[in-house]
Amino acid sequence: MSDQLVIEATGLRKEFRGRKGTRVAVDDLDLAVPAGGVHGFLGPNGSGKTTTIRMLLGLARATRGEMRLFGQQVPAHLPAVIDRVGAVVESPKFSPHFSGRRNLLLLSRSIGAPDRQVDQAIETVGLTGRDRDRYKSYSLGMKQRLAIAATLLKDPQLLILDEPTNGLDPAGIREIRETIRDLGARGVTVLLSSHILAEVQQVCTSATIIGNGRLLASGKVDDLVGGTAAAYAVTVPDQAAARRALTDAGLATTPTETGLRVESDDPARITRTLGAAEIWLTGLTPLRRDLESVFLELTEADTLGQHTTAPGGAA
Amino acid sequence: MIRLLRVELTRLRWRRAVLLLVAAAIVIPTIILAARAYETRPVSDADRADAQEQADVELGFQREQIERCLQAPRQFGIAPDNAERQCERRLSYPVDPEQYLYREQLRLDSELSGAGLAVVAVVAVLMLLAGTTYVGHDWGSGSMSNQLLFESRRLRVWGAKALAVGLLALGVGLVALAVFWGGLLAFAQARDLDPSGQVVTDVAQQAGRGLAMIVAAAVGGYALTTMVRSTVFTIGVLFGVSVAGGLLFGALLPDGALRFEPATNALAVVKGEVTWYVEPPADCAVVVYDMTTTDSDRCATQARLTQRGGAVYYGVLLLALGSASAASYRRRDVP
């Protein structure tokens, strides 16, 4: 296993035994998160993301498999690395009758951090002025901020955030996004589990997609969505003439609200064909696949039981 | 560990439910003390005047009855020719104001098996609830998982919480028992009823044993709730044991059920010894007038449980519960 990896998991499996039998939440999952940057952790509801995170943090025991954080085997050596890991798992969980400040003070004192660290964390997440109010009076967004403040008490090198923007207003989402970006830029490795795929695409440098507890794809975000566009949006004054010319040249086209969608990875061929027909372009936009479409393709295929190989990554 | 212990003590101090239980554990023994002091208060001049008044009323009633008897002796079953002597003889009785002045005197040795036990029982139950609600809240709010994200050594966390609960119970028990027994001792001295050195020693020993039971109850409540992860469930289990446990022991061990009941063993620990009547086997054809008179151990009519027996019972129970709780806390997934 590489020293460059902050999180490594191999053959991870988690079974839940209940009255109705055994349910497999995570099945032979491999996970590798390199040091630095923001790594997205994606999957539909119930795909095993939170269970995986909980196993990494020692809150749940793996049925099978091996996990390492900063090269240390966990949960056996978790105490040696837990001070370097900040985490928000699922919804924020604090004592509802204590103020936000008191909740943070208890946590910071348990690791011997000075009380002023609490003030700094409260200020960083913008809770100054409400920090002495009871936690139960907080909105969901404020609870999320408090949970993020708690992760900052340790000055972590690895931040694991499970749906951190849940309940935040657009301004709050933007703030958190910027905070995550800043942390990533400062060398903190962030594992971001989120359903908001556009957000993941904006913030993350790499991502892992899982479905039904299994790895579907993993790699750099650019590789996952495909490096070059496979289609272009063409805007022209005479749509019908342009369509005829492109079809005659052997290019598949589809009319859209604003123009034509042309299936080709060669923009020069499109411009040459239209130029030869004396049709002058007013717009040519590459149509890239986004993370959402990759995610839906992978997870839908997984639901149908197909084997999927992601571009540029493991499957 | 010291750092964690401090954090847990702070958490306890900030919990309002725990503070209310602590306040109750101090106030209720104080009320019991006040009640015992009042019930055993010395007779005052006002009490004497009141007793004299009641005696006078009684004498007046007596005189009235004798008068009626003299006027209609047959109604009282007395022949008229003999009325003067018989009415007086039958209806007259001595009336002493002292009869209306009965007041129990404060005796520390009596309190040992009375209010002293009640105080231990009340404080033990309140501390059990404190240990239960303290950790039950951690589970209920989900904050336990957050705590483990900062200190992942689960046994340390379990130990720090148990120690904090134990220390709280020790402190509260110490104050409650000191208030109660110290107050009674002060009242006794103020009333010139200086107890003997032996009684004071007995009080100190019983208070020490009571304190141990209070701490055990708090830690036991904590350990059980940590295992079942719910305050309500714990209270349900304890209620079930107190109701169904006796019936179960009675059904399984018809002759020895009391020996295994928690209350009997608690009483043995705190009092130092407890005895109860047992039915001898039918073939023990002995007419027993005195419960302690038996022809052999087999035919004994009195069972006895020593302090040691009770301590072993609770020691084993607490050890088993603590081990199961710590093992469960260490191994099970945390929600």
Q: DSSP character for B76?
A: G
* Single-letter residue type at A283: G
According to the model, what pLDDT value does residue A311 have?
Answer: 40
User: Could you give the CA distance from residue B204 to residue B202 in angstroms, rounded to a whole number?
Assistant: 5
Q: Which one of B1, B152, B158 would you mutate to disrupt binding with A, by most A Cβ within 10 Å of its Cβ?
A: B152
Is A132 an 8 Å CB contact of chain B? no
Q: What is the pairing mode between strands A72-74 and A214-220?
A: unpaired
According to the model, what pLDDT value does residue B213 have?
Answer: 95
User: Could you give the CA distance from residue A243 to residue A259 in angstroms, rounded to a whole number?
Assistant: 10
Chain A residues touching B153 at Cβ < 8 A: 79
Q: How confident is the model at residue A302 (pLDDT cuts 50, 70, 90)?
A: low
According to the model, what pLDDT value does residue A310 have?
Answer: 40
Helix/strand number for chain A, H first, E second: 11, 14
Between CA B257 and CA B264, with CA B258 as vertex, the angle to 5 degrees is 150
Q: Which one of A85, A90, A95 would you mutate to disrupt binding with B, by most B Cβ within 10 Å of its Cβ?
A: A95
Position A308 pLDDT exceeds 50:
no
Residue A262, Cβ neighbours under 10 Å: how many? Answer: 26
Q: What is the pairing mode between strands B273-277 and A260-263?
A: unpaired
Average pLDDT, chain B: 87
Contact B280, B297 (CB under 8 A): no
Residue B60, Cβ neighbours under 10 Å: how many? Answer: 11
Tens of pLDDT along A121-163? Answer: 898 888 888 889 999 998 888 888 898 889 889 888 999 998 8
Alpha carbon separation from B127 to A171, B217, B219, B329 (Å, rounded): 47, 7, 9, 21
According to the model, what pLDDT value does residue B255 have?
Answer: 66
Q: Spell A137-175 as b/e; 16+ CB within 10 A means b.
A: ebeebbbbbbbbbbbbbbebbbbbbbbbbbbbeeebbeb
Tens of pLDDT along A209-265? Answer: 888 888 888 888 777 776 556 788 899 888 888 899 989 989 888 888 888 888 888
Q: DSSP character for B314?
A: H
Task: Retrieve residue B209's tokens.
Answer: 């044993």
Q: How confident is the model at residue B239 (pLDDT cuts 50, 70, 90)?
A: confident
Contact B140, B24 (CB under 8 A): no
Distance of CA B300 to the CA centre of its chain: 28
User: Could you give the CA distance from residue A141 to residue A138 in angstroms, rounded to a whole number?
Assistant: 8
φ, ψ dihedrals at A91, nearest 5°: -85, 155
**What does chain B come to in residues?**
335
Between CA A222 and CA A224, with CA A223 as vertex, the angle to 5 degrees is 90
Position A69 pLDDT exceeds 80:
yes
With a pLDDT cut of 90, the percent of chain A lying above it is: 28
Residue B51, Cβ neighbours under 10 Å: how many? Answer: 18
Task: Retrieve residue A217's tokens.
Answer: 């794809």
With a pLDDT cut of 70, the percent of chain A lying above it is: 92
Distance of CA B294 to the CA centre of its chain: 31
Task: Retrieve residue A179's tokens.
Answer: 């905070």
Position A67 pLDDT exceeds 90:
yes
Position A21 pLDDT exceeds 90:
no
Look at residues B177, B40, B39 and name the one whose alpha carbon lies nearest to residue B121: B177
Between CA A91 and CA A178, with CA A149 as vertex, the angle to 5 degrees is 90
Chain A residues touching B141 at Cβ < 8 A: 93-96
Average pLDDT, chain A: 84
Compute, in degrees rounded to 10, the torsion defined by CA atoms A164, A167, A169, A171: -10
User: Could you give the CA distance from residue A76 to residue B141 in angstroms, rounded to a whole number?
Assistant: 27
Look at residues A31, A28, A39, A40 and name the one whose alpha carbon lies nearest to residue A7: A31
Match 């005052």 to its residue by tokens. B44
According to the model, what pLDDT value does residue B165 have?
Answer: 96
Chain A residues touching B3 at Cβ < 8 A: 109-110, 112
Query: Among B46-55, B168-177, B210-219, B284-293, which is the least confidently predicted range?
Result: B284-293
Query: Among A243-257, B60-74, B277-291, which is the least confidently predicted range?
Result: B277-291
User: Could you give the CA distance from residue A40 to residue A203 in angstroms, rounded to a whole number?
Assistant: 8
User: Could you give the CA distance from residue A255 to residue A48 in angstroms, rounded to a whole number?
Assistant: 40
Q: Quote the pTM value.
A: 0.79
**What does chain A come to in residues?**
315
Tens of pLDDT along A37-51? Answer: 889 998 888 888 999
According to the model, what pLDDT value does residue A237 have?
Answer: 87
Residue B207, Cβ neighbours under 10 Å: how many? Answer: 23
Task: Retrieve residue B333's tokens.
Answer: 């997934």
Q: Who has greater pLDDT, A58 or A226?
A: A58
Contact B150 A111 (CB under 8 A): yes
Q: How confident is the model at residue B286 (pLDDT cuts 50, 70, 90)?
A: low
With a pLDDT cut of 70, the percent of chain B lying above it is: 95
Average pLDDT over residues B201-215: 93
Match 């006002």 to its residue by tokens. B46
Is B334 an 8 Å CB contact of chain A? yes
Element (H, E) at B4: helix B2-14
The three-class DSSP label of residue A192 is: strand
Q: Which one of B143, B151, B155, B158 would you mutate to disrupt binding with A, by most A Cβ within 10 Å of its Cβ?
A: B143
Average pLDDT over residues B258-276: 86
Task: Retrieve residue B270's tokens.
Answer: 């705190």
Tens of pLDDT along A72-92? Answer: 999 999 999 999 999 988 888
Contact B14 A102 (CB under 8 A): yes
Is B7 an 8 Å CB contact of chain A? yes
Position B52 pLDDT exceeds 70:
yes
Element (H, E) at A161: strand A158-162
Contact A111, A91 (CB under 8 A): no
Contact A217, A43 (CB under 8 A): no
Choose the closest CB to B149 out of A87, A91, A96.
A87
Residue A209, Cβ neighbours under 10 Å: how many? Answer: 30
Residue B293, Cβ neighbours under 10 Å: how many? Answer: 13
- Highest mean pLDDT of the ranges A115-124, A236-245, A272-281, B154-163: B154-163
Average pLDDT over residues A97-108: 92
Q: How confident is the model at residue A2 (pLDDT cuts 50, 70, 90)?
A: very low
User: Could you give the CA distance from residue A39 to residue A158 in angstroms, rounded to a whole number?
Assistant: 11
Look at residues A120, A138, A137 and name the one whose alpha carbon lies nearest to residue A128: A120
Contact B333 A61 (CB under 8 A): yes
- Highest mean pLDDT of the ranges A202-211, B32-41, B166-175: B166-175
Choose the closest CB to A79 out of B14, B152, B334.
B152
Tens of pLDDT along B76-91? Answer: 888 888 788 888 888 8
Chain B residues touching A111 at Cβ < 8 A: 150-151
Task: Retrieve residue A81's tokens.
Answer: 């690395």
Alpha carbon separation from A265 to A226, A230, A233, A248 (Å, rounded): 12, 5, 12, 17
Average pLDDT over residues B138-150: 89
Tens of pLDDT along B309-326? Answer: 899 999 999 999 999 999
Is B333 an 8 Å CB contact of chain A? yes
